[in-house]
């Protein structure tokens, strides 16, 4: 007889762009801060990635860093909170995590209690930098 599998952690991981918001978050946040027009920026990134056979993600991150340095723009922790407030989310995102936590708690008959990792859905409501996942962990008191 095989041993039963016990899982006490469920992690939901989200890729932000196109999943939680209609546009890449950089278009709401850092591109305006450095004065870049999104269409021009992404064309530059995609052209370089294509011509150099590079990963577009790495190219865009380098372009962001270079632009921040060139424009002498410092981005501090509090800047992320302010920039996050400009992100437009898809309908339902701001209530998704609370609804998911309630669903898991209901389906587990109260055996799973939400232990949010970095409180993502609360950060969306307060418009602070978002963590791209939340974790649900078994309520150790119920054991």
Verify that 142 and 114 share a domain, yes or no: yes
pTM of the model: 0.60
Strand ordering across the sheet containing 112-114? 9-13, 133-138, 112-114
Verify that 81 and 115 share a domain, yes or no: no
Number of domains in the chain: 2
pLDDT at 60 over 90: yes
For 101, other C-beta atoms within 10 Å of its C-beta total 19
The per-residue pLDDT for range 107-127, each reduced to its tens digit, is: 877 666 655 544 444 444 444
Mean pLDDT within 25-47: 93
Measured CA to CA, the distance from residue 81 to residue 16 in angstroms comes to 16
The per-residue pLDDT for range 12-24, each reduced to its tens digit, is: 777 666 788 888 8
**Residue 109, domain extent:** 1-22+89-143
Task: Name the domain boundary from 40, 57, 87.
Answer: 87
């Amino acid at each position: 007889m095989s041993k039963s599998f016990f899982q006490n952690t469920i992690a939901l991981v989200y890729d932000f762009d196109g999943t939680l918001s209609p546009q890449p978050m950089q278009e709401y946040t850092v591109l305006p801060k450095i004065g870049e027009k999104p269409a021009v920026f992404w064309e530059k990134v995609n052209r370089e990635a294509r011509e150099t056979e590079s990963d577009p993600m790495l190219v865009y991150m380098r372009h962001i860093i270079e632009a921040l340095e060139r424009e002498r723009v410092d981005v501090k922790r509090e800047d992320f909170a302010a920039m996050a407030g400009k992100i437009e989310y898809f309908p339902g995102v701001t209530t998704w995590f609370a609804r998911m936590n309630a669903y898991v708690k209901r389906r587990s008959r109260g055996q799973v209690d939400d232990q949010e990792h970095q409180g993502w859905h609360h950060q969306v409501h307060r418009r602070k930098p978002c963590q791209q996942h939340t974790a649900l962990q078994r309520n150790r008191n119920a054991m």
